[in-house]
Amino acid sequence: MTQPFLFGDGWIEVRDGNDTARAIFDRHYSRYFYADGRKPKLFVGPGEKMVLLTHDAGAVCVWRKFISGDGQSGVNCAVFRRERGDVASDLLSSARALAAERWPATRFYTYVDPRGVRPTFRAGRPTWGHCFYQDGWVFEGLTKKGLHILANYSAIGGAA
């Protein structure tokens, strides 16, 4: 059960472990469920973090700064899930702006699993993570597991 906020607009920062944010995250394709049924209260992982929830509880965005095991630098968009509300790329852009206030002049990056999300077809070609591209993110390669690495350099003066 989720409880939308009764006031406000845009993104609201909440703590890691917030029940409403976790409920939306539980429906994200990357959510890992333990075989033994454990349900830890915290869901983001170690490092500096920013958990954002829209005022109507229609989307969650999680930013995380940590030491990446695959050599990525910057701040990771660990989770972005929009279930309702504004256009996804607009929500992502405003969430990124909040992250840029906390971590100025940094590279933002994310991973998209093409096996976990349906592609959006543009000009007859599949695109995974379409809302990220609409927000100015660029493809930077693949991880060893085949995840797409997308990055945004707008906080350091690069393209949108």
Strand partners, 44: none
pLDDT tens-digit map of 99-143? 999 999 999 999 999 998 889 998 899 999 999 999 999 999 999
Kindly report the pTM of this predicted structure.
0.87
Where residue 40 falls among pLDDT bands split at 50, 70, 90? confident
Residues ≥6 apart with Cβ < 8 Å to 119: 126, 127, 128, 130
Largest CA distance in the chain: 46
For each of the domains in the chain, give its residue range(s) and CATH number, in order of start: 11-156 (3.40.630.30)
Whether 6 has a pLDDT exceeding 70, the answer reads no
Residue 94 CA neighbour count, 13 Å, CB half: 15
Whether 85 has a pLDDT exceeding 70, the answer reads yes
Average pLDDT over residues 27-31: 72
pLDDT tens-digit map of 132-155? 999 999 999 999 999 999 999 998
Q: Which two tokens stand for residue 152?
A: 């945004």
